[in-house]
Amino acid sequence: MSTNSGDHADHTHASGFLRTYVFSLDHKIIGMQFLFSTLIWFFIGGMLALGIRWQLAYPWAPMPLIGNLLAGPEGGQIAPENYTMLVTMHATVMIFFVIIPILAGAFGNFLIPLMIGAEDMAVPVLNMLSYWFMWPAFGIIGLSFFVEGGAAQGGWTSYPPLSVITAAAPGSLNGQTLWLIGVTFVGIASMMGSINYMTTIIQMRAPGMTMFRLPMTVWAMFITALLQAFALPVLTAAGFMQLGDRMLGTGFFLAEGATANNSPMASGGGQPLLWQHLFWFYSHPAVYIMILPAMGMVSDIISCFARKPLFGYKPMVYSISGIAGLGFIVWGHHMFVSGMNPALGMTFMVSTMMIALPSAIKTFNWMGTLWGGQIQYTTPMLFALSFVSMFIIGGLSGIFMAATPVDIFIHDTYFIVAHFHYVLFSGTAMAVFGGIYYWYPKMFGRMMNDSWGKIHFTLTFILLNCVFYPMHILGMTGFPRRLADPYQYETFQNLLPLNQFMSLCALLLVASQIIFFVNFFGSMFFGARSGRNPWHSNGLEWQAPSPPGHGNFDFQPVIHRGPYEYNSPEVEGDYYPQTQPPPEIKE
Amino acid sequence: MLAIAAAITLAVGCSQSEPPPFRLNMVEMVSQETSDDYQQEIADVLGALFGTPDEPVALEETGLDANMLARSAGPAWSDEKGVQRGLYRKHCVHCHGISGDGRGPTGRFLNPYPRDYRQGVFKFKGTYTANRPTTDDLHAILNNGIPGTAMPAFSLLPNSSVESLVEYVKYLSMRGQLETALISYVYDELGEDDDGGRIPLDPAADPEQREIVLELLAEIVEDWEAAEQRTIAPDESQIPSDDRTPEEIVASVAKGQQLYHGKEANCYTCHGPTALGDGQQNEWDEWQKVQQKFLEETNRLAKSIQERASQDDQDESSEARLEEDKQTLAKRQEVVDTFYPIRHAIPRNLRQAFYRGGQRRLDIFWRISAGIAGTPMPGSGPASPGATANLSDEEIWNLVDYVMSLPYEPPSRSQEAIVPNKDEIF
Amino acid sequence: MNRFWGFLFFLVPVGGVATFAAAPYFNIWLPRDISEHGHAIDHLFFFILWLTGVVFIVTELVLFYFMWKYDAKANKKPAKFTHGSHSLEVVWTIVPAVTLLFIAIYQMDAWASAKMRPPLIPGTEEMISPTVEVTGRQFNWDFRYPGPDNELYTQDDIFRTDGKLYLPVGEKVLLRITSADVLHSFFLPNMRIKQDVVPGMEQSMWFKAKEKGGYDIVCAELCGWGHYKMKGRVFFLSRAEFDEKLEAMRLEQNTMRVAALDEED
């Protein structure tokens, strides 16, 4: 029984529990389903990271908890293939099951119709399917831990021949096949979502909501959806090619006579670098998929709590588009030392340098938004500000990598790890926390506890810098990635104490998130009731009830301005929602 | 939820304070029907004589160096500054296993499987076929690794560490050999006493048993010590001179080719007329053969049980035997379930430019003269000093020349693909 | 109490600079550079470090300053109602663009010399002959020297699998690098050189060492469970010592006597 959004008027609630809460077609429920699933996987990914940090702090010491389970007979120390599995699956889980779904699936789904004044997404069934297609991925990747050889171990980048020749690694037996299938499901889910978002944003805006009156969150989600739509098919195709190589004897990514671990020689005829091109053609835009929505949300939050219009709205929109456009022509910077023609290194270097520019423009504009404002330090504002501060670090460190001669040295070292953890954790994840604290009242009708939120923020902010900032100097020593025991090299012998410090802080960082989880789930039942617009935000979504019912708005929204008109001279006070008619009409 | 997590942590974490024990050689135990009591007693004897993975014992009778063993044994991680322990667990255990049985967690995914030390048989050595390797032989393997396998080189470790690891390998090997000897001793000698009770294995209490056990150990140790003098020294008069002319070398290679295809050495039957290793490929090496036999016997037993079980007329004693056999089958099946897939011993492709057991001419000489212990590769030289041999030293050097020239023959070099005449295709 | 937040963010530039200032005293810094071209890379690194460092300090301090000054609890002036400044946008678009382009062009030569200009035989377009072939395999670095005929893939080649690479110092050396199975990466931290090895591709690497001594070889591309175990060591010797060493290795490979073994110990 499908519903068109136009039928909402006579949609009954006689549907049972399954229809309302499990196989719901309501974008808000689907958004929350994404939110809960991704938060659980966030915890799992964090546990995997702690495993990595344990080995780096106490190499070959018996691991707590899993040591006995996995390798008890040998003394409880991690087997080296399991270290590569931890590294691979930590990245896979965080990228495909946490960051991408929480930004696009949770926030995108929940906010887009509310922010544009629509009743629901353009195709609610497709929306529901985009969530439920994640479950086969969850199951398959979860299952891959328990098959012979364990989960995929070739890095989340799964470069052939390691990931293609089944004998090359224990995880390349069945784990890698399951990985490819799981990622394909995620890709399908994302593509369904992206089509829905683009259609909704283009077609279903409320009257008066021109494109340049959209909040930055919606712009970001729109551009992100474009990125998904154009980049994902390449990854999906590459995934099928790798599956073919693994199971059907095709030779897309294997040279003639390819062998590993004395496996039978493959007939080959292909080229391992082809995978790298195809993979990064998607995965570079993917990293922008993982930051643009966060940038959009941060713009909304900063403007609201500085009580000032967003500085440079149109430049902000053009910057996001610029990042996305340039994002398609920089993928080769992951491959500078891969064996790719060095002449290409030159071209990718120039485009990669240029992509720093729109990010810089955005940073300046956020600071411009703060200038002359009246900053209210609520928990969401603190997280949004930390995004700006940390993104500066993450973005600047990217310039080192863009410089190809420097990249010769820092490629595959912890300098890279520092860079992407700064943009993804200190950046996006902080924005995600900010977004959760900010829109929680809209989702659940209650406030999260602000004091505990600030404690959560302070601990997270300090600890994440203790964990990830030293990775820059570690990378300067040449400290390599994915190495289970770097200290046996003379160059890295003295780096154990620093790593132990980082691991301790990582443990405390993960523990601090307990405060967030308790606050998140507890406030659903015990939080103060919030009312429609606890933050006095101008955004359209705050005009709907908290939480919004079916159909979202209890009036037909008509839009008169953008969402950032705080402290406008046209009204008394600093609050001027998008739906409020201008003073001339009132008279 | 937090309370549950804490409880699990405590439960699992606390059980980690127990150090890991050596594993029993279940294939030997089950195939010789060693009862659970005897298994425990054998483990106790081995514990008394050799200690545990954390605390090794170096009996004077074994001639092993206690300091070196202490450096190799124990947990890999040590908080104490300047104390280097746990070398074996740091570098070796995940492939070679805590007991040196080649069954660490990574082992099953490697081709070839990691070496099982417990038979005291090592492939790449310079001694006569039936002898143990020398300390230098083991040292050379650790220093150079084994190209073509997953065994890396450890020459960058301090020399004292490599020596300690070699000592520990010998220790594990002797321990494994004694375990097998004890299992056989129990099977052959200990049965029931006059009153029908079980004679326990307890050398601490029984002086006669003690003497026998120490004798068994002494035999094993003597073998190892004797090996140090059993390196094959090629006959000086038959070693080719260092300054041969190209013609002499060519002649030697041609002679070697003849011998390769000849009946005395029979190289081509396994290595193939092509020297690619595509001759017969149906044999097993010693380690796989033991498992293969065990598997075959288990299958035979299962079949016989099936046949007997389907018969209707059974008397009491045959019923009892059937039940006993079913229990034995269950035990054997448990052991079979732990086997890695059994692989044939594939003869080496001689057209590759590198060799597993060493790149020197002397290494190739040793391979041909003494064969490769534990594998179907036979020795063509003397089996012991002064014994008669299939090939003389000179002939073996001819074969060495031939083998080392194979990777550079035109057929061994990669060829340009022949471009088809496109005009003639359609 | 609310000024606390500004202060917390002030710690970012302070801590950030302090970390980089303190690191060299703990010997956590770029490894010693013994290569000829390495200084170009280090120079570029520090140039970018200073540039980004200045930008980092200025932007973080400005952020702190705004957080401090415009804190609603302390600042009672109503927020400015402005949507931006066209001229500011132009300035902070052009200035970073020019800077980035400058950095891009500035470094092209260093990249070309490291990766695009192999050492050639004088007067020809041919690369000089390789000093050694390095093969990465799961999980060891194997080396193959050309031997007295100076040509690789002939019968007098010298094979070494013990992870110790010998090279002459003070000369431009060309290495042929390859993989026997999966992707590996030949990384010499002290030479500032790194190249992934791809099975099936013909690849070379070249450099000139300025100092003698032993330095680490690290595998820098995930190659399986033993990725951490692919430890090697490169030893730079004077040309005379290098030739001696090659001869000694050649003799060892041609060993036919057990007595020769004892001398190796």
Distance of CA B258 to the CA centre of its chain: 33
Query: What's the pLDDT at A1?
Result: 37
Give, for all 265 residues of chain C, the pLDDT tens digit: 567 899 999 999 999 999 999 999 999 999 999 999 999 999 999 999 999 999 999 999 999 999 999 998 888 888 889 899 999 999 999 999 999 999 999 899 889 988 888 899 988 988 899 999 999 999 999 999 999 999 999 989 999 999 999 999 999 999 999 999 999 999 999 999 999 999 989 899 999 999 999 999 999 999 999 999 999 999 999 999 999 999 999 999 999 998 644 444 4
Residue boundaries of the structural domains of chain A: 22-257+274-586
Residue B134 backbone phi and psi in degrees, to 5: -85, 170
Count of other CB atoms within 10 angstroms of residue B415 = 7
Give yes or no for a contact between A324 and A223, defined as CB atoms under 8 angstroms apart.
yes
**Is residue C52 helix, strand or coil?**
helix
As a whole number of Å, the CA-based R_g of chain B is 26
> What are the CB-based long-range contacts (under 8 Å, 24+) for A351-354?
A351/A326, A352/A398, A352/A401, A352/A402, A353/A399, A353/A402, A353/A403, A353/C100, A353/C101, A353/C103, A353/C104, A354/A326, A354/C97, A354/C100, A354/C101
Q: Give the position of tokens 């010797």.
A: C237
Beta bridge partners, C216, equal C233
* Rounded mean pLDDT, A149-161: 94
Give yes or no for a contact between B29 and B122, defined as CB atoms under 8 angstroms apart.
no
Q: How many helices (H) and strands (E) does chain A have?
A: 22, 0
* Rounded mean pLDDT, A42-46: 95
Q: Which of B48, B24, B62, B28 is nearest to B168 (CA)?
A: B62
**Is residue A4 helix, strand or coil?**
coil
Count of other CB atoms within 10 angstroms of residue A332 = 24
Q: Is A92 on the interface with C (CB under 8 A)?
A: no
Give yes or no for a contact between C233 and C166, defined as CB atoms under 8 angstroms apart.
no
* Rounded mean pLDDT, B194-204: 80
Give contacts of A260 with chain C, Cβ < 8 Å. 138, 181-182, 224
* Rounded mean pLDDT, A26-39: 95
Give yes or no for a contact between C82 and A372, defined as CB atoms under 8 angstroms apart.
yes
Q: Is B242 on the interface with C (CB under 8 A)?
A: yes
Distance of CA A539 to the CA centre of its chain: 23
| pLDDT tens column, A492-506 | 999 999 999 999 999
- Tell me the C-alpha distance between B185 and C213, whole Å: 57
Which helix (H) or strand (E) covers residue C159, if one does?
A: strand C158-160
Q: Which of A312, A331, A309 is nearest to A320 (CA)?
A: A312
Q: Choosing among C194, C202, C204, C231, which should be mutated to test the A contact, i.e. which has the most A CBs within 10 A?
A: C194
- Tell me the C-alpha distance between A67 and A55, whole Å: 11
Report whether pLDDT(B309) > 70: yes
- Tell me the C-alpha distance between A174 and A246, whole Å: 10
Give yes or no for a contact between C231 and C186, defined as CB atoms under 8 angstroms apart.
no
| pLDDT tens column, B318-367 | 888 899 899 999 999 999 999 999 999 999 999 998 999 999 999 999 99
Task: List all residues 6 or more positions away from B44 whose beta carbon is below 8 Å from its beta carbon.
Answer: none
Give yes or no for a contact between B108 and B166, defined as CB atoms under 8 angstroms apart.
no
**Is residue A158 helix, strand or coil?**
coil
* CA-based nearest distance A5→chain C, Å: 36
Single-letter code of the amino acid located at C34: I
Q: Where are the alpha helices (DSSP H) in B74-206?
A: 87-91, 93-96, 135-144, 159-189
Query: What's the pLDDT at A8?
Result: 42
Which helix (H) or strand (E) covers residue C235, if one does?
A: strand C232-237
Which helix (H) or strand (E) covers residue C244, if one does?
A: helix C239-253
Query: What's the pLDDT at B7?
Result: 56
Give yes or no for a contact between A118 and A448, defined as CB atoms under 8 angstroms apart.
no
Contact state of C23 with A413 under an 8 Å Cβ cutoff: no
Structure tokens at A253: 């990514």
Structure tokens at A33: 């389903």
Give yes or no for a contact between A49 and A90, defined as CB atoms under 8 angstroms apart.
yes
Single-letter code of the amino acid located at A490: E
Query: What's the pLDDT at A69?
Result: 64
Q: Choosing among B137, B144, B405, which should be mutated to test the C contact, i.e. which has the most C CBs within 10 A?
A: B144
Q: Give the position of tokens 């996001």.
A: A320
Q: Where in chain B is the domain with CATH 1.10.760.10?
A: 236-283+346-412
Listed range (A579-583, B63-67, C91-95) with the worst mean pLDDT: A579-583
Which helix (H) or strand (E) covers residue C132, if one does?
A: strand C132-137
Q: Which of B197, B179, B155 is nearest to B45 (CA)?
A: B179
* CA-based nearest distance C154→chain B, Å: 7
- Nearest-by-CA chain C residue for B135: C265
Listed range (A3-7, B124-128, B373-377, C162-166) with the worst mean pLDDT: A3-7
Q: Which CATH class is domain A22-257+274-586?
A: mainly alpha
Single-letter code of the amino acid located at C254: N
Q: Is B108 on the interface with C (CB under 8 A)?
A: no
Q: Which of A104, A120, A31, A2 is nearest to A552 (CA)?
A: A120
Report whether pLDDT(A587) > 60: no
Which helix (H) or strand (E) covers residue A394, if one does?
A: helix A379-402
Query: What's the pLDDT at C80?
Result: 87
The CA angle A360-A363-A364, to the nearest 5 degrees, is 90
| pLDDT tens column, B79-111 | 556 666 899 999 999 999 999 999 999 999 999
Residue A446 backbone phi and psi in degrees, to 5: -135, 160
- Tell me the C-alpha distance between B294 and B336, whole Å: 8
Q: Is B365 on the interface with C (CB under 8 A)?
A: yes
> What are the CB-based long-range contacts (under 8 Å, 24+) for A454-459?
A454/A379, A454/A382, A455/A515, A456/A379, A456/A512, A456/A513, A456/A515, A456/A516, A456/A519, A457/A379, A457/A382, A457/A383, A457/A386, A457/A433, A458/C8, A459/A508, A459/A509, A459/A512, A459/A515
Contact state of A337 with C185 under an 8 Å Cβ cutoff: yes
Q: Is the torsion defined by CA of A261, A265, A271, A277 positive or negative?
A: negative
The CA angle C7-C11-C16, to the nearest 5 degrees, is 160
Q: Which of C81, C75, C79, C83 is nearest to A570 (CA)?
A: C81
Neighbours of chain B (3+ CB pairs under 8 A): A, C
Report whether pLDDT(A477) > 80: yes
Q: Which architecture, in CATH terms, is B236-283+346-412?
A: Orthogonal Bundle (1.10)
Entry pTM: 0.93
Chain A contacts in chain C segment 122-151 (CB below 8 A): 138
DSSP assignment letter at A15: S
Query: What's the pLDDT at A320?
Result: 97
Contact state of B150 with C261 under an 8 Å Cβ cutoff: no
Report whether pLDDT(B195) > 90: no
Query: What's the pLDDT at A284?
Result: 97
Q: Which of A538, A541, A468 is nearest to A503 (CA)?
A: A468
- Tell me the C-alpha distance between C114 and C208, whole Å: 11
Report whether pLDDT(A366) > 70: yes
Contact state of C56 with A368 under an 8 Å Cβ cutoff: no
- Tell me the C-alpha distance between A483 and A490, whole Å: 14
Whether this model's ipTM surpasses 0.85 comes out as yes
Contact state of B408 with C153 under an 8 Å Cβ cutoff: yes
Q: Choosing among B111, B362, B369, which should be mutated to test the C contact, i.e. which has the most C CBs within 10 A?
A: B362
Single-letter code of the amino acid located at A556: Q
Query: What's the pLDDT at C265?
Result: 42
C164-168 β-sheet, strand order: C164-168, C232-237, C213-219, C184-188, C193-197
- Percent of chain A surpassing pLDDT 70: 96
Q: Looking at chain A, how many residues does it have? A: 587
Give contacts of A169 with chain B, Cβ < 8 Å. 109
Burial per residue of A402-432, b for 16 or more beta-carbon CB atoms within 10 angstroms, e otherwise: bbbbbbbbbbbbbbbbbbbbbbbbbbbbbbb
- Strands C164-168 vs C213-219: parallel, antiparallel or unpaired: unpaired
Listed range (A223-227, A424-428, B186-190) with the worst mean pLDDT: B186-190
Q: Is B354 on the interface with A (CB under 8 A)?
A: no
Chain A contacts in chain B segment 20-49 (CB below 8 A): 20, 23
* Higher pLDDT pick, B32 / B6: B32
Chain A contacts in chain C segment 219-258 (CB below 8 A): 219-229, 231
Q: Is C254 on the interface with B (CB under 8 A)?
A: yes
Q: Is C25 on the interface with A (CB under 8 A)?
A: no
* Higher pLDDT pick, B114 / A18: B114
Residue B16's pLDDT band (cuts 50, 70, 90)? low
> What average pLDDT does chain A have?
92
Q: Where are the alpha helices (DSSP H) in A121-174?
A: 124-132, 134-144
